Amino acid sequence: MNSLTIDTSTNKYNVFVGTKLRFKTASFLEKQYKNILIVTDDQVANHYLDDVKNSFSTEINLYSVVVPAGESSKSQEQYFNVISRAIEVGLDRQSLIIALGGGMVGDLAGFAASTYMRGIDYIQVPTSILAHDSSVGGKVAINHTEGKNLIGSFYPPQAVIYDVETLHSLPEKEVRSGYAEIVKHGLISDEIFFHQVLDTKLSSKIPDEVLTDHLLKGINVKATIVQNDEKENNVRKYLNFGHTLGHALEANLGYGQITHGEAVAIGMLFALRVSEKVYGVKLPYQPLHNWLVTNNYPLHLPTQEIDPLVNRMKKDKKSINNLVQMVLLKSVGQPTVEKIEDELLKSELDEFMRELVNH
Amino acid sequence: MNSLTIDTSTNKYNVFVGTKLRFKTASFLEKQYKNILIVTDDQVANHYLDDVKNSFSTEINLYSVVVPAGESSKSQEQYFNVISRAIEVGLDRQSLIIALGGGMVGDLAGFAASTYMRGIDYIQVPTSILAHDSSVGGKVAINHTEGKNLIGSFYPPQAVIYDVETLHSLPEKEVRSGYAEIVKHGLISDEIFFHQVLDTKLSSKIPDEVLTDHLLKGINVKATIVQNDEKENNVRKYLNFGHTLGHALEANLGYGQITHGEAVAIGMLFALRVSEKVYGVKLPYQPLHNWLVTNNYPLHLPTQEIDPLVNRMKKDKKSINNLVQMVLLKSVGQPTVEKIEDELLKSELDEFMRELVNH
C-alpha cells in the first residue's frame, strides 16, 4: 500500500492506494463515528457495498443511500434525496458520510456533506480511475441544466481510500475516461510521465503496478497544485486543461452520452491546437491524436454547431467578463491561462470540429 | 454612523450601522464588481430596491431576483431559483450578490452565494432587527421540511450595511422577533444590557439612538463569540440559547405561523426554567415573562403535544447521539451547554407548556 498526505487550509488528509483496501475501510479512519451514511450508486452497490460495510464493527449505526449510476444523478433531486436520507437516519454533526463510487458519487456525497448541518466529515472510497482526479482536492459539486458543477463547495475529505482492485471491473469507456485525466496530469507537469502514459494500451488489462504508478503520479501532480492554490485563484486553474471545451461538449451532448474524460480528451486536443496557434510552438497533437484513436476514444462526434458550444464556454465558471479563459501549454509541463478573443476561439473551433468530423 | 470589524478565518469585514446607509451602498464596497445580483423579497423590494440600485453607477450590470416574503422562501425551490437567475444573468466568480432584506433573504442569498460556482462574494443589507443576529457570523442556510437550517454553510459576507431607517416600517411582530434576539444577547453576556432591553417598550416608536445602541451591543456580543469560534465547536453554541425549543416550536407550528424571535422568546423562558432546575439557581424568569406579556409576545399557543417537540429537538444540529443539548445559564452572563436526559426534558417541557396554556 502507498500513501501520500495532502495539506489544506482546514485539514490534512491521507490518500491510500493499494489492493483490497475496501475490506479495511474502517481501519483508515482517525476518529470514532457512531453514525455513518454510505452514499453509492446502484452499480457499485452490487459489487462493493457489503465489503465496505463489513469492515465496520456491529456497534456502529451504518446506513446507505443508493442513487442511479451516471452523471445525471449529480442533480438537484439526488442532492436533496441524500440530504433527506441523512436526516431520516439521524446523522448529527459528529457523523460521517462515505462516498463509495466514481466521481459522480464523490461529488454528490461530498457536496451533501459540505452543506448538511453546515458541513460534516466525509471520506472518499473511489471505484473509478477518473476519481483519482476528483477525489483529491476537495472540489465537490452538482450540475445545473445550464452547466456542469455550477453548484458546489471547496470541502476536503478526511481521507481517500483507493482500492485498485475495484478498477479492473470498469467498462472500457470508463477506463478511457479516467486515463484522459492521467494524460492531462502528464501534459501539464512532465513530458516523461506523459509519454509513459501514451505507452499504455487500455484495451488489455493494465498491470496493477502500472495502474498504481500512474494513479500515484497523477494524484501527486494534482495534490501539489491544490496545496499551492486550494481555492483556484491561480495555478489550480491549470487542472482545467482540456476542460473548457470538454465541459461544453458534455453539456451539449447531454450528460452521459459521452464520458467526462472522453470529452476532456477532445478538449485537450483542441487546447493543444490553440496553444500551437497562440504561442507558435509545436506540441504533441499528433501523438495524442493517434493514441486516442488507437484506444477507441470517440472523436467522430455528430456534427457540432459552434455557437452553442461557445455560449456554454462563456458560462464556464472560469470565464471572466464574458471572455472565455483557456488553459494552454507553452510546452509539455508548462501550462498557462489565457483569455481567448471570440474571433480566434470561433475560427479555431470551427476548423477543429470540421477536421474531427472528416477525419 | 458606527462600525465594527469582524475577523474570520477567511476574511475580515466591516459592519456599518447608521441612518440612510442604503443610499450609499455602493460606497461601502472594497472591490469593483462588474456584475451584481440583488436578492430581495417582494415586500422589501417595494420599499428599498430602487434606493440600493440607485447607489451604483450605470456602468455596472445590476440584476435582481425577488422571492416571496416569509420564512417559507428559505426553501429548496427558491434556492435553485436564485442560482438559476444568477446563471441566467451571467454572474461569474468575480461577481457580487447583495442580500437586501431580513434574515430569510440573508440566509437564502448567502447560501446561494456560498455554493454558486463554489462560492462568490456577497454582502448583507439587513432590513429587520432580527437580522442584526443573522447577518453577522457567516451562518447561512435553507430549511428542510424536517427542520430549520439543516442545509447550509459557514460563509461570511464581505460587509454588512445596516440602515436603521429601514427598521421603522417593520410590523410589530417583526420588532418583537428581532428584540427577542437582543434579549438573548443580553442574557448570555451582561445583566445591565439585559435590563436596559427590558426597559424598552416595543409598541411605541423606539428612538433611533436607543435602537442603534441595542443593535451595536447585540452585534458586539455575537461578533465576539463568533470570532472565538467560527465553526461552532465551542462557545458559539451559546448563541443558541432559547433556540432548541424555539426551532422545534417554529417547525411544529409551521414556518410563518409564529416569528423566529417569538418562538425563541418562549424557548428562552423554557431554558431559564430548566437552568433553575438543573443548577438550583434563581434567574429572571418572571421579569422576562412579564416583559414578553407586556409587549404582546404570543405565549398562549394552541395546546402542544410534547412528543413531536422532543423529536424535533433531537433532530436539531446540536443534538449528540440522540441526546438533546441545551444552552443553560448558571447566572445572567454565564451560559453553559448541557446534555439533557429525556426524562427531565419531557417532564419540564410538559409542565412548562401546560403553564403557558393555562396562564
Residue B344 has what pLDDT?
95
The CA-atom distances, in angstroms, between B159 and each of A22, B26, B79 are 46, 11, 22
**Contacts with B74 from chain A: Cβ below 8 Å:** none
Residue A321 has what pLDDT?
77
Assess whether B138 and B6 both reside in one domain: yes
Cβ contact (<8 Å) for B115 and A153?
Answer: yes
The tens place of each residue's pLDDT in chain A, 359 residues long, gives 889 999 888 889 999 999 999 999 999 999 999 999 999 999 999 999 999 999 999 999 999 999 999 889 999 999 999 999 999 999 999 999 999 999 999 999 999 999 999 999 999 999 999 999 888 889 999 999 888 899 999 999 999 999 999 999 899 999 999 999 999 999 999 999 999 999 999 988 898 889 989 999 999 999 999 888 877 778 899 999 999 999 899 888 876 688 889 999 999 999 999 999 999 999 999 999 999 999 999 998 776 689 999 999 988 777 777 899 999 999 999 999 999 999 999 999 999 998 887 66
| pLDDT above 90 as % of chain B | 78
Residues 6+ apart with CB under 8 A from A349: A245, A270, A306, A309, A310
Instruction: Name the strand (E) or helix (H) holding A307.
Output: helix A306-315
Domain boundary (B167, B202, B221) is at B167
The CATH number of the domain holding residue B225 is: 1.20.1090.10
Cβ contact (<8 Å) for B153 and A93?
Answer: no
What ipTM is given for this predicted complex?
Answer: 0.86
Q: Does B59 touch chain A (CB under 8 A)?
A: no
Cα of B318 to nearest chain A Cα, Å: 7
The closest of B264, B293, B288 to B276, measured between CA atoms, is B288
List the 93-152 stretch of B: residues with Cβ below 8 A of A.
93-94, 111, 114-119, 139, 141, 144, 146-147, 149-152
Q: Is the pTM of this model over 0.95?
A: no
Q: Count chain A–chain B contacts defined by CB atoms under 8 A.
A: 95
Assess whether B7 and B51 both reside in one domain: yes
Assess whether B154 and B222 both reside in one domain: no
**Contacts with B319 from chain A: Cβ below 8 Å:** 92
Assess whether B152 and B218 both reside in one domain: no
Domain boundary (A136, A167, A198) is at A167
For chain B, give the secondary structure using H, E and C. Answer: CEEEEEECCCCEEEEEEECCHHHHHHHHCCCCCCEEEEEEEHHHHHHHHHHHHCCCCCCCEEEEEEECCCHHHCCHHHHHHHHHHHHHCCCCCCCEEEEEECHHHHHHHHHHHHHECCCCEEEEEECCCCHHHHCCCCEEEEEECCEEEEEEEECCCCEEEEEHHHHCCCCHHHHHHHHHHHHHHHHCCCHHHHHHHHCCCCCCCCCHHHHHHHHHHHHHHHHHHHHHCCCCCCHHHHHHCCHHHHHHHHHHHCCCCCCHHHHHHHHHHHHHHHHHHHHCCCCCHHHHHHHHHHCCCCCCCCCCCHHHHHHHHHCCCCCECCEEEEEEEEECCEEEEEEECHHHHHHHHHHHHHHHHHC
Q: Judge contact between B218 and B234, C-beta under 8 A.
A: no
Cβ contact (<8 Å) for B115 and A151?
Answer: yes
CA distance B273 to B352: 8
Assess whether B118 and B213 both reside in one domain: no
Q: Does B323 touch chain A (CB under 8 A)?
A: no
| Count of domains observed in chain B | 2
Cβ contact (<8 Å) for B151 and A90?
Answer: no
CA distance A222 to A226: 6
Cβ contact (<8 Å) for A152 and B90?
Answer: no
Is B262 labelled as part of a ligand binding site? Answer: no
CA Rg value for chain B = 20
Assess whether B147 and B284 both reside in one domain: no
Domain coverage including residue B201: 172-358
Cβ contact (<8 Å) for A115 and B152?
Answer: yes
Cα of A217 to nearest chain B Cα, Å: 27
Assess whether A197 and A334 both reside in one domain: yes
Task: Name the percent of chain A in helix, strand, coil, to the closest 5.
Answer: 50, 20, 30
The CATH number of the domain holding residue A12 is: 3.40.50.1970
Enumerate the H helices of A188-302 as residue ranges. 191-198, 208-228, 243-253, 260-279, 285-294
Among A35, A92, A116, A143, the strongest candidate for a mutation testing the B interface, having the largest count of B CBs within 10 A, is A92
Cβ contact (<8 Å) for A87 and B152?
Answer: no
Is B247 labelled as part of a ligand binding site? Answer: no
CA distance A127 to B56: 50
